[in-house]
With several copies, the nearest count.
Chain A
Amino acid sequence: MHIMEGYLPASHCIGWAAASAPFVILGLRRIARVVREHPQVKMLLAASGAYVFVLSALKLPSVTGSCSHPTGTGLAASLFGPTVTTVLSAIVLLFQALLLAHGGLTTLGANIFSMGIVGPFVAYGLYRGIQAIGLGTTIAIFTAATLGDLATYVTTSFQLAIAFPDPASGIIGAAAKFLGIFAVTQVPLAISEGLLTVVVWNLLSKY
């Protein structure tokens, strides 16, 4: 779920871009370091990025019957770690804006923050945390992918709420509204993405 081009006021656009920039720069530095040591990583990251992009453009079967698009960042974060995923997500979001008109350039910073930073970090933290408690990989992957996806959606709703507080109930009320409206598609989607990630993960570990 992305914020559309032009939806956020200029000051918010700049603010979110500034908030995301350090993470992206950190990720870029990390990639540059790895690429210097192993040049073939460049091609592998490009292929993985394409995989995440195509995954995010896939229609996912949803329990409610409606179709929606997964973020794929849960899987990516579990595979490559969160900082690299931030950079891949930034490129994916740029591509989505320019190839699909999903999201936008002015809202790129805000979208990177929700889909490229909050989502992957939540997913990665949950994945490591649940594994550390010893609840098993399946639960860890499901929780990471589902809640990572939900975290992206919650963040987006708050970003919109801060920009457009409810005249009666302020930011909290506005967040509740945005959460409510998008819940129809996003909650079943998050569950589907969680289940799908588990299926993929289990099959991949067979190879």
Chain B
Amino acid sequence: MLEIVAADYSYPGGIAAVSGIGLALQPGEKVAILGPNGAGKTTLLTLLNGTIRPDRGSVRLDGQEIRYDKAGLRHLRRQVGLVLQDPDDQLFAASVFEDVSFGPLNLGLAPNAARGQVDAALAAMRIEDLRDRPTHMLSFGQRKRVAIAGIVAMQPRYLLLDEPSAGLDPFSVSHLMAALRRIAGQETAILLTTHDIDMAYGWADRIVIFGEGRIACDGAPEDIFADRALLHRLHMRPPLIWEIAQAMRAAGMLPATGPLPRTRRDLLQLIGHETATMDRIAADLSV
């Protein structure tokens, strides 16, 4: 388990970035963090991976408080991988393969083992075909996937991603989320930040909302979005699908019980299903 406990962090100059935040990430979980620009989401990720050190509070891995010396950070970063928002900050080597092998080689793996992990990461991100391409000739979406592969190749148990879907077209986003779903299946926990509430609602097991440097709420999507007063205070809107489904339920167009649809497909099916039922009823009546 990766935890942050009662942590404060202020930027030089005294501006508080986060205060009193606490969060625990269980193996295998899929968690999405929402919140406005500048609310402290990125700060949380960099705290969790030891890049910055909390002014107060602590970060714990499997119950042990992490140490900020070389060995301690090395231990932490083997298990906690962080993908930054801008892929250009993360690609250095001339070719995709070389770049993705940077992490595994630094882990001290033998060339053959490293090669295996690189190939696995390229396969997980579905970019085997980019293997030998020069990094400076990739498109934005490709660079983004290569940057993620660079961390995935280190096989962290906790994968943190800062705005992985930012700047991608919807088709690339759905590909990326599918890749993250495949990776999360293998005992890896994923924690990502996003502005895309609908995507978060369809993907995450758990949603955390940040507001003004604090964690405003943390829980199952159904519970979070049911609290209208809270969302209003945070200037947030519930996911469109959730809101429409709620309105339809209130209007009697969807059954009053049962799980709410999470994705576009779920909702459309539900509407179609209802139609089918209504058609059947209508047919029954007309008999």
Chain A positions within 8 Å of B, measured between CB atoms, are 203, 206-207
Contact = CB atoms under 8 A, between A and B. Distances in A.
A104 to B, nearest CB: 23
B136 interface: yes
B94 interface: yes
Contacts of B94: 203, 206-207
Interface of B: 94, 136
A38 B192 CA distance: 32
Contacts of B136: 207
Contacts of A203: 94
Q: Majority SS of interface residues in chain A?
A: helix
A207 B92 CA distance: 12
Nearest to B95: A206
Nearest to B94: A206
Contacts of A206: 94
B46 to A, nearest CB: 16
A203 B94 CA distance: 8
Contacts of A207: 94, 136
A48 B150 CA distance: 26
4 contacts: A203-B94, A206-B94, A207-B94, A207-B136
Nearest to A206: B94
B106 to A, nearest CB: 15
A182 B222 CA distance: 65
A203 B99 CA distance: 13
B51 to A, nearest CB: 13
A88 B94 CA distance: 20
A47 to B, nearest CB: 12
A203 B136 CA distance: 13
A207 B94 CA distance: 8
Nearest to A46: B92
Nearest to B92: A203
A203 B91 CA distance: 13
A203 B135 CA distance: 13
The 4 A-B pairs with the shortest beta carbon distances in the complex, nearest first, are A206-B94, A207-B136, A203-B94, A207-B94
A98 B94 CA distance: 15
B101 to A, nearest CB: 16
A206 B94 CA distance: 8
A206 B136 CA distance: 11
A32 B240 CA distance: 57
Nearest to A203: B94
Nearest to B136: A207
A98 to B, nearest CB: 13
A159 to B, nearest CB: 34
A34 to B, nearest CB: 20
Nearest to A207: B136
B97 to A, nearest CB: 15
B69 to A, nearest CB: 14
A81 B139 CA distance: 34
A59 to B, nearest CB: 15
A160 B136 CA distance: 38
B21 to A, nearest CB: 27
A29 B136 CA distance: 31
A207 B95 CA distance: 11
A109 to B, nearest CB: 27
B122 to A, nearest CB: 21
B74 to A, nearest CB: 15
B285 to A, nearest CB: 74
